Amino acid sequence: MGKVYLVGAGPGDPELLSLKAYRLIKEADVILVDNLVLGVKDLIPEDKKVIDTGKTAGAHKFSQEEINELMVHLASRYDKVVRLKGGDPFIFGRGGEEAAYLSEHGIEFEVVPGITSAIAVPSSFLIPLSYRGVSSSITFITGHEMEAKEESASINWNAIANLRGTLVILMGVGNLANNIEQLLKHGLRPDTPVAVIEKGFTPDARIVTGRADNIAGVARSEGVKPPAIIVIGDVVQMRERLNPNPNPNPSDNEDNE
């Protein structure tokens, strides 16, 4: 049996890929890629066997169960199987589930961490998730699993809304209005700054900003699409202080109330 490597590809910029991840891409016998590896795909040699297992909302080439089974099958045929995942495999990438499946089936595996877009994308737009005197805590949540009734949801909205730190929501564009509604209902300040950063580390990357009480409408009017990172908290305002360019980004909506 071969070995499976669950490799974090980082936020999409090839230069942010780890050296170990790059080496494994070059050495792999077969590579399974998802939709978020973006520019990293260009580093894959043309002679490599590549299987596209990417998922988008409502369009899955493979179910998660099929991906799990495929990794086991490939490990029976190849020495090195690389599962290339956007960001970090264990940050909302279902890498934990894949590792558990491989373990249960006796397949040797290794996890290669990557830079999560939850941190890298805000940094690229000069939003420090922590800042002395502004925010001393960071919370990451996923935004696409919150359509269940409130009483059965896994998120403690009261706790999240009153952390007084920075909240980062991944995969939350489609459910943005509902997520914000819950946060406001449970105590989030209506004037809390919010940034929605779309398509980070791509030529089409842009940021739209507003407040908790208007960001859903701003994002809708701007036509924001996934993938996007949502940052909620006073650290969003630090971008103005850190930005060396006095001319605002045309996509900014910081004055849109």
DSSP letters, 212-240, are TTTHHHHHHHHT--SSEEEEESGGGGHHH
Q: What is the pLDDT of residue 56?
A: 60
Fill in the amino acid letter for 242.
L
Looking at 115, 132, 156, which one is the last position of a domain?
A: 115
Among 41, 55, 61, 80, the one annotated catalytic? 55
Decide if pLDDT at 60 tops 90.
Answer: no
For 119-129, how does the pLDDT look when each residue is reduced to its tens digit (9 = 90+)?
999 999 999 99
Distance of alpha carbon 53 from alpha carbon 62, whole angstroms: 6
Residue 86 — left, alpha, or beta (φ > 0 → left; ψ -120 to 50 → alpha)?
Answer: beta
Judge if 212 and 232 occupy the same domain: yes
Which position among 71, 146, 171, 238 bears the catalytic label?
Answer: 171
Domain boundary residue among 115, 149, 170?
Answer: 115
Question: Looking at residues 16-44, what average pLDDT do you find?
Answer: 94
The answer to whether residue 204 is domain-embedded is: yes
In a domain, 216, yes or no: yes
Residue 48 among the catalytic residues:
no
Of the residues 34, 88, 199, 238, only one is catalytic, namely 34
| Mean pLDDT value across the chain | 90
CATH classification at residue 175: 3.30.950.10
Q: Is there a single domain that holds both residue 108 and residue 19?
A: yes
Predicted TM-score (pTM) of the model is 0.88
Domain of 236, in residue numbers:
118-242
Pick the last residue of a domain from 82, 115, 148: 115
Q: What tens digit of pLDDT does each residue of 151-169 get?
A: 445 789 999 999 889 999 9
User: Looking at the structure, do residues 95 and 168 belong to the same domain, yes or no?
Assistant: no
Residues 123 and 69 both lie in one domain? no
Q: How many CA atoms lie within 13 A of 133 on its CB side?
A: 2
Catalytic (active site) residue 204: no
Residue 38: pLDDT band with limits 50, 70, 90: confident
Distance CA 155, CA 141 (A): 8
DSSP 147-203: -S-GGG-S--HHHHHT--SEEEEES-STTHHHHHHHHHHTT--TT-EEEEEESTTST
Task: Report d(CA 170, CA 197) in Å as an integer.
Answer: 10
Q: What are phi and psi of 256, to 5 degrees?
A: -80, 105
Q: Which residues pair with 141 in a beta bridge?
A: 169
CATH no. for residue 103?
3.40.1010.10
- 56/143 same-domain check: no
**Are both 59 and 31 inside the same structural domain?**
yes
Pairwise CA distance, residues 49 & 192, whole Å: 48
Q: Give the count of domains, the chain.
A: 2
55 catalytic residue (yes or no): yes
Same domain, 110 and 125: no
Both 227 and 172 in one domain: the answer is yes
Task: Say yes or no: 97 and 164 in one domain.
Answer: no
